[in-house]
Structure 1
Amino acid sequence: MSFERPWLSQYPDGVPAQIDMDEFPSVVSVLENAISKYRDRPAFSNLGKVLTYGEVDKLSIQFAAYLLGELKLKKGDRVAIMLPNCLQYPIATFGVLRAGLTVVNTNPMYTARELKHQLEDSGASAILVLDNFAGTVQEVVAGTAIKQVITTGLGDMLGFPKGPIVNFVLKHVKKMVPDYDIPGAIRFRDTLTLGQMHSLPAVDISQADIAFLQYTGGTTGVAKGAMLTHRNLVANMQQAAAWIGTNAKMGQEVIITALPLYHIFALTANGLVFMKFGGLNHMITNPRDMPAFVKELKKTPFTAITGVNTLFNGLLNTPGFDQVDFSRLHLTLGGGMAVQRSVADRWKEVTGVTLVEAYGLTETSPAACINPMDIPAYNGSIGLPIPSTDACVKDDQGNELPMGEVGELCIRGPQVMKGYWERPEETANVIDADGWLHTGDMAKMDEKGFFYIVDRKKDMILVSGFNVYPNEIEDVIAMMPGVLEVAAVGVVDEKSGEAVKVVIVKKDPALTAEDVKAHARANLTAYKHPRYVEFRTELPKTNVGKILRRELRDPPPAAA
């Protein structure tokens, strides 16, 4: 039986059915190609400082030479990078890749427990961390394979006098940099100086080499490293570039990068795609400070912006956003969580540009489906499978379902991960013998090949585009001596899409909602914190004793 691809007839003019997988052998070759074409053009800007492609070239070579020459790391070794959006991020990331090593992207907001798991699981040999978060590294580094901690201040790459002023204000005025003491730690700027004493040897990097270990939760609640190869990332960059490239101008694009580059969406969509176009990534370090973010947008003539629904909603509700100059803006891409119609409609009204919804997963590097760039308005769909990508809907027995029927969305293409790091069984659970990745999302396809997400098969909770797994929340809350049983569910939330609610059967009658929230704050990243705490005398269960989470979602909770 031949596989039908009705979506191909809906492709915008100029978008190919297949991408050229041989144009770039690695992510490094994408960078080197951009450097040769756009050496003097701006590549990354942050806090008023701009790095050209030529400067990124020089500095990333210095960091790569340090990793190989001084630390004596070997091909395939892992390096953790624990940074928000700042100039050190692209320098370090491209340095690690140019050295033939693997980047382990690490959320700077991780608690000690979460960081320890990721460092132990990945076996990372070194970690680069912003001073603000170095205290967390100090807590856990002793029990890991980390040989070298590299620290840096937010102002370190901003030059004189701005850099020292930024560092001073963050530490002494805003009190955002707690004291820490990590024996043997080295400053990032010193690694660049040491790197100049070594020449970077020729490193053979193949498409099959792992570029990133990108951690994502699992249905078990344990974060797993998705092995994203150079082939995966290059494929997804080529796919997205082909999709948006019909109206992107080489060497002239300015993309607002407010989502963190350690998140797979911004990493590929902003970092790689716009590098191919010789564009400028204008990095926002703290997009939660919406008034400052809007002020930045007013100063920056930008052509593109990516984000999650909550980010767009936040901007639309910030005074002054409607006075931003949108005359050059031609691309707004929403992903990471469902885009709400009300937000998309208002975005179009204020900016004059359609908010185009896309769909992807960490496991697909991330893009799998994107709406055509020329759609006149929001359509409620996640779009069409992008070039060289197949999608279908399957039932629980693995049979492909006909058009219009709801089943599990499955994706196949060169962007699908190699598997989960050192977890062959978990890999086999999600990638079947025919190469289909089972996404855990329930979807249907219409006659034109547009896909629509209907519900999630998993119990995963999606908070502002971040995956939260109930098992992890439950494990943490269950650590409390006053808790007998606990279940975590997602409930609808206007601001973040969903919020975490925990339902608890008490062991200690004195246990309060505030006790639970304080415990969560100490052990979980902010977006995983339960917003609502409900106490019950028992939890609904199946006849085999499995908690029925679905029954706990309703009715909507009153705020605790």
Structure 2
Amino acid sequence: MASVFDPVCRHAAVTPDNIALRGATDQWTYLQLRDATMRYAGALAAAGLSPGDRVLLAAPSVPEFVVAYLGIQAAGCVVVPVNTMSTRAEAEYVLGDAGCSLAIAWHALGPAVAEAAAALSVPSWALSPGTPVTAAPADVVDRDRDETAAILYTSGTTGRPKGAQLTVGNLLSAGEIGAECSRASSADRTGTGLPLFHVFGQASVMMATLTVGGSMSLLARFDPASMLEMLRRDRLTIMAGVPTMWNAMLHAAGDANPADFAGLRVAVSGGASLPGEIARAFEARFGCTILEGYGLTETTAFGTFNDLDRGAKTGYTGRAVPRMQVRVCDDNGDECPPGSVGEVHIKGPTVMRGYWNRPADTAAAISSDGWFRTGDLGETDTDGDLRIVDRVKDLIIRGGYNVYPGEVEEVLYEHPDIVEAAVIGVPDDHYGEEVAALVAARPGADLGAAEVSNWARERLSAYKIPRIVRFVDALPKGPTGKILKRSIDRGALTRDTALGDVAARRL
């Protein structure tokens, strides 16, 4: 029997005065976090919630999110975290699909969650600073490790979003694996601007930090200047983020040098492929090791990770993390030899229980012997390191040739005037698909479409060169900062191909 809340109870008993959480203006010790969490669990029990009931939670990365999240766990309920930017329709869908008995939303958010809850006759609470509740502390509900502890809805690139059921064992294992990968200890000060409602912040950062008894500094909303301030103020030793965050911090760092961040030893990167140019520049500027990992919501954020001793291998996400197995398979399910591209499969204690109320989707994604099919294309090298080539659905097939957008983006990021880049396929009558690139240039740069295409032509095979180039002020991003290719209007790109082989206009 176990609870996701166990690590906090353990450290509150042994090191009660150690700092667990740091927000913008406050900090919480492990004892304060434990007591606040148990009172919150008591409030849930007093409201009539029972173990197994689902509770929607919408809040930014503030200490109160952690209290509510763990309070739901301590009460034996199932937390259903959602994006703070969810519309009423989106919140209503999740509330209905998960069958939630309660909705909790941060007090400063708009009315979307409360309105969605009212439409479904579901009670709603406001989550306020300090999480003031008057209920008596509740006893922690022990659960089996294979019971569902959280339901995280996937991004829904096809069809309606599906709820990935993460178990008590999934989350506890993720915390243990994450701590082992970064060699974290109670002396570490971890900081992030990632949203905790996303699996990266929730499992790889929050659970890993609480597992070892370290402190976690939180930004309610990522901003490069604020992240740099937090890095200095809290003397962070570990940071976690996505490539767009590292890129933004590089541009905001000014004339800073490694001496300004002497305590920082490792930056954990995930969520999207990390361009080598950004990694090298970040390590030089911040004087730390930046290590890329790979995982999914359905694997509780873990799959592979680069090793601290070996250091990062540019373009690769490392080997399987401890306790996990990773392989690359062909269409027949046979393991591919090194250097051959196939679908990445993952097996181990962080693989989800399945999709909520979707047995057919679960059966299609998880084999009878426990291997999860990721839908990602990858290849291993002779050392066993994994390189993610692209999503299966992002693959561009131009005139019968496979074009992996990540490879083209890596080349574009090497250009000194390109800040962001996204490569996608658009329909083409002749080739089936054409390669298109959306580019955000450095402010003040005199960069044209022809120069972008020529830059790629000097470094890539002819069929991989973007024939369509568009300039944008910024690319669309999700809550973690990950570039959202599905939000790009491919129709607009296709319509403009009549302008010539390489067309450019600001969208």
TM-score range, shorter chain: 0.7 to 0.9
Of 399-408 and 24-33, more deviation after overlay is shown by: 24-33
The CA deviation string for residues 153-182 of structure 1, in whole angstroms up to 9 with x for no partner, is 4xx22xxxxxxxxxxxxxxxxxxxxxxxxx
Which residue is 1:222 aligned to?
Answer: 160
Shift of 1:232: 0.9
Which residue is 2:69 aligned to?
Answer: 93
- One-letter code aligned to 1:76: G
Which residue is 1:171 aligned to?
Answer: none
The CA deviation string for residues 423-449 of structure 1, in whole angstroms up to 9 with x for no partner, is 111111111122111111111111111
SS at match of 1:27: coil
Change (3 A) 1:48 1:458: same
Say if 2:56 and 2:80, in contact at 8 Å, map to a contact too. Answer: yes
Out of 401, 425, 428, the residue aligned to residue 363 of structure 2 is 428
Out of 174, 179, 182, the residue aligned to residue 236 of structure 1 is 174
Which residue is 1:406 aligned to?
Answer: 341
Which residue is 1:304 aligned to?
Answer: 238
Which residue is 1:47 aligned to?
Answer: 24
The CA deviation string for residues 456-501 of structure 1, in whole angstroms up to 9 with x for no partner, is 20249999xxxx9x9xxxxxxxxxxxxxxxx9x9955558xxxxxx
Change (3 A) 1:61 1:528: farther
CA distance in 2, matches of 1:276, 1:57: 14
2:296 is the counterpart of 1:361: yes
CA distance in 1, matches of 2:347, 2:288: 31
SS at match of 1:458: helix
Change (3 A) 1:397 1:152: same
2:285 is the counterpart of 1:350: yes
Out of 48, 59, 64, the residue aligned to residue 41 of structure 2 is 64
Out of 103, 126, 129, the residue aligned to residue 105 of structure 2 is 129
Shift of 1:532: 4.8
Change (3 A) 1:438 1:50: same
Unaligned runs of 5+ in 1: 1-23, 158-187, 471-486, 496-524, 541-553
Out of 127, 132, 154, the residue aligned to residue 152 of structure 1 is 127
SS at match of 1:125: strand
Say if 1:294 and 1:321, in contact at 8 Å, map to a contact too. Answer: no
CA distance in 2, matches of 1:444, 1:533: 28
Which residue is 1:370 aligned to?
Answer: 305
CA distance in 2, matches of 1:429, 1:526: 27
Which residue is 2:418 aligned to?
Answer: none
CA distance in 2, matches of 1:32, 1:68: 19
The CA deviation string for residues 191-224 of structure 1, in whole angstroms up to 9 with x for no partner, is x11x13xx52452311011111011134533111
Say if 1:380 and 1:452, in contact at 8 Å, map to a contact too. Answer: yes
What is the TM-score with the length of structure 1 in the denominator?
Answer: 0.71
CA distance in 2, matches of 1:116, 1:490: 36
Unaligned runs of 5+ in 2: 396-404, 410-421, 425-432, 442-481
CA distance in 2, matches of 1:412, 1:217: 22
Which residue is 1:257 aligned to?
Answer: 192
Which residue is 2:212 aligned to?
Answer: 277
Which residue is 2:412 aligned to?
Answer: none
CA distance in 2, matches of 1:536, 1:302: 43
Paired residue total? 434
Say if 1:76 and 1:101, in contact at 8 Å, map to a contact too. Answer: yes
2:494 is the counterpart of 1:559: no
Say if 1:333 and 1:356, in contact at 8 Å, map to a contact too. Answer: yes
SS at match of 1:356: strand
Change (3 A) 1:530 1:450: closer
Change (3 A) 1:128 1:262: same
Of 396-405 and 371-380, more deviation after overlay is shown by: 371-380
- One-letter code aligned to 1:226: A
SS at match of 1:205: coil
Percent of pairs with identical residues: 30
- The answer to which structure, 1 or 2, has the higher relative contact order (CA under 8 A, 6+ apart) is 1
Say if 1:316 and 1:322, in contact at 8 Å, map to a contact too. Answer: no
CA distance in 1, matches of 2:89, 2:197: 19
CA distance in 2, matches of 1:408, 1:240: 24
SS at match of 2:256: helix
2:50 is the counterpart of 1:74: yes
SS at match of 2:260: coil
What is the TM-score with the length of structure 2 in the denominator?
Answer: 0.79
Say if 2:92 and 2:116, in contact at 8 Å, map to a contact too. Answer: yes
Shift of 1:329: 1.1
Say if 1:532 and 1:559, in contact at 8 Å, map to a contact too. Answer: no
CA distance in 2, matches of 1:85, 1:426: 31
Shift of 1:72: 0.8
